[in-house]
Amino acid sequence: MPRLSIEVQGVVQGVGFRPFVYRIAHLHGVTGWVRNRPDGVEIEIQGPRTVLDEFLVSLRKDRPAPARIERIATCETIEQAGEASFAIVASGHSAETRPSVPADLAICPECAQELDTPGDRRYQYPFTNCTYCGPRYSIIEGLPYDRPKTSMKGFPLCADCLREYQDPLDRRFHAQPVACPVCGPQLRLTDGHGVAIAAKVAALVGAADALASGAIVALKGLGGFQLLADATSTGAVARLRQRKRREEKPFAVMFQTLAALKRDCDVSEAEARLLGSPEAPILLLKRRDGGTVAAAVAPRNPHLGAFLPYTPLHHLLLAAVDRPLICTSGNISEEPMAIDDADAFERLREIADVFLLHDRPILRPVDDSVVRLEAHGMNVLRRARGYAPLAHPVPSQAPPILSLGAHQKNTIALLNRGQAVVSQHLGDLHSLQGAQLLERTVEDLLKFFATRPEILACDLHPDYASTRLAERLAVQWQVPLVRVQHHHAHVAAVMAELGLAGPVLGLAWDGSGFGLDQTLWGGEALRVDAKGCQRVGHLRTFPLPGGDRAVKESRRSAAGLLWELSGATGPVDNLYTASEQPLLHSMLERGLNTPRTSSIGRLFDAVAALTGIRTVRGFEGQAAMELEFAAERASDPEAYPWAFRGEECLVADPAPLIQALLKDLQQGLSVAIVAQRFHRALAELALAWARHADLKAVVLCGGCFQNALLTRLVRERLLNAGFQVHLPVVFPTNDGAISLGQAWVAAQRSLLDS
């Protein structure tokens, strides 16, 4: 009788895959076994040929929803005599570890039902989970994914949980975080110094009462601490903003149910499915008038970051409070989120009034993912819980490569054996805590996959914390270091995700990145293929008086742009005091602390200041966002003009654009129409560069393409002109994908050199 050996690779551990294999094996009447391996799942089945074929069809077609199969390899093996049944056997350890780590998953419908069913032994137990849901990446110490290699190893199973864990027909079979009120983690409520207030159910009730009274609660969640506050209370929002030092940046809001969420936001069927998916991200939605959420949660913003409870603890807390809650990262702005109690008490006691804690250790921080659905598909703004660190196939014969990413929205990437693992969102590296988290994540990732990189990659900027760490590790490990220009990495990230060989035209538009000519790039048209990158177009450079201060003060971008175009700053002189103006002009005249930039992001800032929309930002991207919101209120077919010069590299001069824009403002044209015409001008710029490059495939990337209106206009203009437009879907268009692009570039260079 024939016998097959089957290797399955992908996300097949921690998602109920072995019990699924066990069930379909018994359904088809085959004998053999299944086991976990560090590189996936291994199966041997024996039976009639037609039955084996039917088994393979079921293996692909009927897999568990959280599973992702990337490869199935089969071969004939030796028939086993006397084998009477099919079994799940102990994990194997022979294969080299490959990236196949399950992400943390939102509570499944079955567990949610148990949670709400009186008399069920897990009724209102805040750590209910099964093989289809619950913590994964945040609690795993190593592979293969078994309980002794998780932070649940300190919770011995009670008799009832052990029986479920050992029953192949139970959905909790080998659910590594399985627990119940008898043997699992428990809640406790404390003050900011760790002094106990209440435990178990009383702790939950105490936290709910605190929230209802307007207090701020620090919650130890799935992948780190979160700060909670009543989203309907203007006073509670104001207190959280003041304590967290987050003046205007929008907060995300968690709603108890989809029905409750729909009272505040417009939700399409596709958006509803995403909200209720195992990934359960924060989703940017259009706000409705007359909603329950306080305006101060997202001031002057027509959108709201909304999501549904994704853990049992969130479900219970939202039900007890019976109102939407702000649910934001447990940190001071620009610092990493806290994951252990001592660190949380140290950093959050001045923010939170009480702490709702549990005793399940969190091994690594995993923030909430943020996405938006657009006409072309999903746009990931922050890739973390639910999505990271799922491996992505990147066919390459290059040796193991570790890339250290950008300075903001940092991630790191490990490219090995044809797959890329991009870490969860780590945040910005401005603080000491951020730099330390980067280093810990490097150690964690390499230990996790038992890999030593043979090549390192980093950004071209010499002063990034990620660059400095890469330089130190390259010396320590005696491996080559590949420095990749920021915008080259942006384009390469999309090519890596979508499997584009090139050449492509990459329109990389963002705030800034260190350029090959020592200026700050950010409005780039790049020809990219496996051999490298060529600049075929860019925005005319202009000075940024004050350097980093100009990033925070859009009025400085406007002054620098006007000075470049006309030698004067007249239209924005009213934005400066009499004492500020001489210093500003001196800086511009003498070129002191005035780096030059080709940034589209800074051009957005300049236009926002010229229109009076925003002269000083409260958070990153605020000026550009408010300019976008203004443009969305208008419908005007006109676009401001450009001037161009150059042959091989087409330089876009915004002088005609600014002249026309100022004239419109002087004549009293509405700011909304001016903003709309500016956005359409950028779509015309994209088309001009595409025609100049004469490449059919165009990649859109960089933080500016988080702007939904800009993306739609550029995409439509290019498609209508016959170009192919490529946008990222799985990875962010912002700096969160830079590490993937760096790894791809380093891999191509390695292959060319070999």
The mean-pLDDT minimum among 14-23, 44-53, 521-530 falls in: 14-23
Q: What is the pLDDT of residue 16?
A: 79
Q: Does 98 score more than 60 pLDDT?
A: no
Domains of the chain: 3-88 (3.30.70.100), 187-358 (3.90.870.10), 380-501+737-753 (3.30.420.360), 509-730 (3.30.420.40)
> Is 90 exceeded by the pLDDT of residue 236?
yes
For residue range 656-679, list pLDDT tens digits in order: 999 999 999 999 999 999 999 999
* Cα separation, 609 vs 624, whole angstroms: 10
The C-alpha angle 623, 266, 299, rounded to 5 degrees, equals 30
Instruction: Identify the band that residue 71 occupies on the pLDDT scale cut at 50, 70 and 90.
Output: confident
Q: Is the pLDDT of residue 92 over 70?
A: no
Count of CA atoms in the C-beta half-sphere (13 A) of 290: 1
Strands (E) located in 122-230: 187-190, 196-199, 217-220, 225-230
Note the pLDDT tens digit of each residue in 614-667. 999 989 999 999 999 999 999 999 999 999 999 999 999 999 999 999 999 999
pLDDT value at position 133?
A: 94
Give yes or no for residue 508 having a pLDDT over 80: yes
pLDDT tens, position by position, 172-200? 988 999 999 999 999 999 999 999 999 99
Q: Quick check: 182 and 160 in contact, CB under 8 A?
A: yes
Weakest mean pLDDT among 68-77, 236-245, 252-261, 275-284:
68-77
- Cα Rg of the chain (Å, integer): 27
Tell whether the model's pLDDT for residue 11 goes beyond 90.
Answer: no
Among 410, 483, 487, CA closest to 442:
410
Report helix, strand or coil for 513: strand
- The confidence score (pLDDT) of residue 248 equals 93
Residue 301 in contact with residue 291, Cβ under 8 Å?
no
Q: Name which of 157, 3, 742 is nearest 412 in CA terms.
A: 742
pLDDT of 97 over the 60 cut: no
Cβ atoms within 10 A of the Cβ of 293, count?
A: 25
pLDDT tier at 335 (50, 70, 90 boundaries)? confident
The C-alpha angle 681, 684, 689, rounded to 5 degrees, equals 130
Residues 700-714 have a mean pLDDT of 97
- SS3 (DSSP) at 187: strand
Q: Rounded to whole angstroms, how far apart are CA atoms 474 and 202?
A: 52
In which region does residue 422 sit, left (phi positive, over 0), alpha (psi from -120 to 50) or beta (all else)? beta
